[in-house]
A and B are shown apart, each in its own frame.
Chain A
Amino acid sequence: MSEQSAVAGKDTGAEDYGLLPPVDVIEDKSGITLYADLPGVSRENLELHVEGDNLFIDGRIALEMPKEMEATHVEVGRSRYRRVFTLSREFDTEKLTADLRNGVLRLRIPKAEHAKPKRIEVRAE
């Protein structure tokens, strides 16, 4: 899985960049697991999609805010998270599973059956 920002070209401007959520990516024999920090994003506001070899993570932050509120200190200055990864062919995106809990997204993409590691016997003659 690699990351690419080629899609930036589709953006209408810098405003659309969104925040880059931090991720952990762990690969094992049977697949890959991705954790992404998306605080403030609910299930309804999270959009995941696979297009060709690309995996798009797009989340909108929705906070409960009282009226007449005036920001005095801002560290999270955008209301969207956005990140794109390039998947390699060996992953079976049909079997992708996703789970969002307490603002943490956990994605699991299994490897296609043919891509799982196989031990190759070396024979000595």
Chain B
Amino acid sequence: MEFSPFPRDMFAELERLQRQIQQSVELSPSIRGFARGFPALNVASTPESVEIYGFAPGLDPSKIELQLERGVLSIFGERPSEPVDGGEGASVHLSERFSGRFHRVISLSDDLDPNEVSATYRHGVLHVSIKRHKSALPRRININ
């Protein structure tokens, strides 16, 4: 690429494209996740709870809406677009970041307790932890 006198050359673009395609083929979903939407979600489960991680950078946590209804979690809100510095005469070279309204729905298990939900927002990641109903936890049954 060093021979190109242009700041945004076609070869760099092609390489970037190639890398993106490679990433999507490699079964390692990209954070851009446009096919799946914003925010990208990771879900994990423990014996006592279900943990949801939403990769939602640049949000005001008070404006993120969360709803849990019959084991279905909805996350919605809006991500404002960044104000363009410099005003007139400014040019946008790349614009890849998500902006606008988002709404994601994820179906979780049905043994969750809607009264035992905690949500934190840290470093742009929304972490929702939902406890399972006590009655749903595995119990040892004594044989008399």
Contact = CB atoms under 8 A, between A and B. Distances in A.
Contact of B57 (A14, A38, A68): A38
Contacts of A66: 46, 49, 51, 129
B12 A26 contact: no
Interface string B77-109: 000001011110111111111100000001000
B45 A69 contact: yes
Contacts, number: 178
Contact of B31 (A70, A76, A104): A76
Nearest to A108: B85
Contacts of A81: 31
Interface in B24-53: 26-33, 36, 39-47, 49, 51, 53
B8 interface: yes
Interface residues of B, number: 63
B67 interface: no
Contact size range, A: 35 or more
A25 B92 contact: yes
Interface string A35-77: 1011111100000000000000000000111111111111111
A79 B86 CA distance: 34
Contacts of A75: 29, 33, 36, 40-42, 55
Contacts of A71: 42-44
A24 B95 contact: yes
Q: Which of A1, A3, A69, A108 has the most CB of B within 10 A?
A: A3
A72 B43 contact: yes
